[in-house]
Amino acid sequence: MTFRVAVTGDFEKLALQAAPWNELGKDAEVVAFHEPFASEQATVAALQDFDAITLIQERIPLTHEILEKLPRLKLIVFTGRKNETLDAAAALARNITVCKCSPDFEVPPEAPGGKSPVELTFALLLSCTWQTGPNTSLIRQGGWVTQCGVALRGKTLGIVGYGSLGRPVGRIGLAFGMNVLAFGRSLTDEAAAADNVTRADLDTLLGQSDVISIHLPLNSATRGLIGAQQIGLMKPGVILINTARAAIVEEQPLIDALQSRKIAMAGLDVYWREPLPSDHPLTRLPNVVMTPHIGYATEEAMVVRYRELLRTLVAYREGNVVGRYVPEPI
């Protein structure tokens, strides 16, 4: 019987060229899916005849209801350390093996640039301050200058989550001539001073920053960390950048603050539902710059991810389980 593998979330159409899938054997068939599934029913219809499913980050949800309708499924492999849109407990209850593969994209601590979400953070920020998208459209329509840009030099950048992503964001902020405040649960005054930044508690950072950039993992402590009360502490006209996880910020308070211009601009790569529905309020707000959760999706990184997925699949076919995932107790 053919061992069928569904490679989902291949939105860039790289998967089949990125890895030597023939290593799975002559009795294996690999099918790549290049679009999000429109509904739960569409997901089931597409995936019901596969033995294994691979997930790129959290692009394709596999809920309890979906898994119940995939009787042939034996193996799920996802990239990343955990997956918020996969009901791993439900999969394990059905004796489906769940594995994770987390390729090492670490860079030396002294390296100035950091990982790709760091670059996207500043792409979003500069799009906010210089309105590059609207200005491109304006020129194409025969227009010219309509508003001033916003200089970063001398402004205060607040980094919520001063770790492997937040730290290089701080270095780049310093290079722009910004003052940098950093919030991190394990950050000390001495460590901050060594980086030429200032440690601050969250409330102080929110109240003093002109730009706030979020770089925290999503967990029970950070979910909903920034809600209406915290937004109320922010300066009028602040810019908010989120390339981490949407659920760290409460959705409706953010929308309200953008509509009132309490938050002047937001640059977002992450959303509470992905893909973002076309009728979502964010899509109608002119003061929001959006990218479709691409912070981790450089071509080089995606090739590594697909090859790691393949390595895990090959091991499984050889009788070995690599990277077995056990969900943390709730």
**Dmax of the chain from CA atoms?**
65
Give the residue numbers annotated as catalytic, written as ranges.
245, 274, 293
Residue 248 near residue 241 (C-beta atoms within 8 A): no
Residue 300: closest CA among 135, 103, 73, 37: 103
Tell me 249's DSSP state: B
What DSSP string runs through 253-306?
HHHHHHHHTSEEEEEES--SSSSPPTTSGGGG-TTEEE--S-TT--HHHHHHHH
Radius of gyration from C-alpha coordinates of the chain: 22
What b-and-e string marks burial along 100-119, b requiring 16 or more CB atoms within 10 Å of the CB? bbebeeeeeeeeeebbbbbb
- Assign 20 to helix, strand or coil: coil
Cis peptide before 112 (omega within 30 of 0): no
Residue 230 near residue 202 (C-beta atoms within 8 A): yes
* Euclidean distance between CA atoms 281 and 272, whole angstroms: 12
